[in-house]
Amino acid sequence: MLTNFLIFYTLFSILFLGICRRFNILMDKKIEKHKKYSSKNNSHLLGGLLILFFLSHYYFLVSTNYLIYSFLFSFFLIGIMADTRGINSVSQRFILQLIITLCFVNLINIEINYTKISFFDEILEINLINTLFVTFCLLVLINGTNFLDGINGLVITYYIIIFLILLLNLNSFIFDQTILKNFIFVLLILLLLNFSGLIYLGDSGSYTLSLFSGLFLINLAFNNNSISPYFIVLLLWYPCFELLFSMIRRYFRKIKTYKPDTIHLHQMVYKNFKFKINTKNNLLLHILTNLLINFYNLISFIFALRYIYNSEKLILIIVINITVYILAYNYLNFSFNRIKRK
């Protein structure tokens, strides 16, 4: 039955994309400068809708977990309203995110019950503190992932790698392997369409994909206490640190924190490739940027698998990743500015 659904999903995605292109539905004209990196042509904001279509099938016909689906659907709606300019205000969007997350985290009873730091674990036993902490973690992940959605394939490939790491190396642990296998299939279809520049994840796609992933990984850690919580942190370090670093960077440069810019790490990698290779082949530049960043993350994840129970070693790997990020960013920024001056 599920195989038939995946075949139907593939055909539906292609057909729906064709309809959207024919009638200019959900078109993103890339008015904002940061979106022009994805492709020079108009793309369609279908990533979130196609992800939601798969999740609708799963949560209504397989797991029947309507609360989780409602949580995901709420964020999809916020994202689609942002994509279609129904909500232009970043502060309004954040307030909605905060209220919805607080409500659902409390309703569904989503918990992060241990961090291997005894005094903090004691604090997390207070329900209110736990709810606030989980809300903070999810919002950082969701908005950090949205920051990465400027280079075609970057976000989708990153989460495909995470899911493959889980499936191939943690198959003896308690989690729903079937949904990951099928979700990887769905994401591969979206990856091809995203690389081609035909579709764009947009806020709706980034929110839905990252929220699902965050909830799945929190549940994985909750059901498998032998795994160090820092292994989960490591899997999600890149989008989370991208958000935190960007906020700090904008603060010190006196740039409004809610204004999008074009000097994120992935954009600096893209710019340096573009000038050093001296090519205007957008697909090649996106593939190279994607390969460099996600290959590093893949190596980091594979290495971390050796220490899945060792929090100290995993924290060290996270610190190394953050250090590499900062050094790489400063080098690429310096290199690009030097090229521009020539």
Write the DSSP assignment of 92-142 as a string of letters.
HHHHHHHHHHHHHHHHHT------S-HHHHHHHTSHHHHHHHHHHHHHHHH
Count of domains observed in the chain: 1
User: What is the rounded distance in angstroms from the CA atom of residue 100 to the CA atom of residue 5?
Assistant: 31
What tens digit of pLDDT does each residue of 20-57 get?
A: 888 788 777 665 555 555 566 677 888 999 999 999 98
Residue 339's pLDDT is 67
Calculate the CA dihedral of residues 283, 249, 133, 184 and round it to 10 degrees: 10
Residue 32 belongs to some domain of the structure = no
**For residue 132, is pLDDT > 60?**
yes
**Could you tell me which residues are beta bridge partners of residue 44?**
27, 199
Amino acid 33: pLDDT: 57
To the nearest whole percent, how much of the chain has pLDDT over 70?
93
Residue 31, domain member (yes or no) = no
Asked if residue 117 belongs to a domain, the reply is: yes
The model's pTM: 0.94
Calculate the alpha carbon distances from 90 to 21, 173, 187, 238, 268 in Å. Answer: 29, 39, 28, 22, 24
- The answer to the question of residue 331 being in a domain is yes
Average pLDDT over residues 53-80: 92
* Residue 171 belongs to some domain of the structure: yes
Average pLDDT of every residue of the chain: 89
> pLDDT tens, 230-261?
999 999 999 999 999 999 998 888 777 666 77
Q: Provide the residue range defining the domain that includes 121.
A: 2-23+41-341
30: in domain: no
Terminal-residue alpha carbon distance, the chain: 60
> What residue type is 169 in one-letter code?
N
Paired tokens of 157: 């490939």
Please check whether residue 33 lies inside any domain of the structure. no
Domain-located, residue 35: no
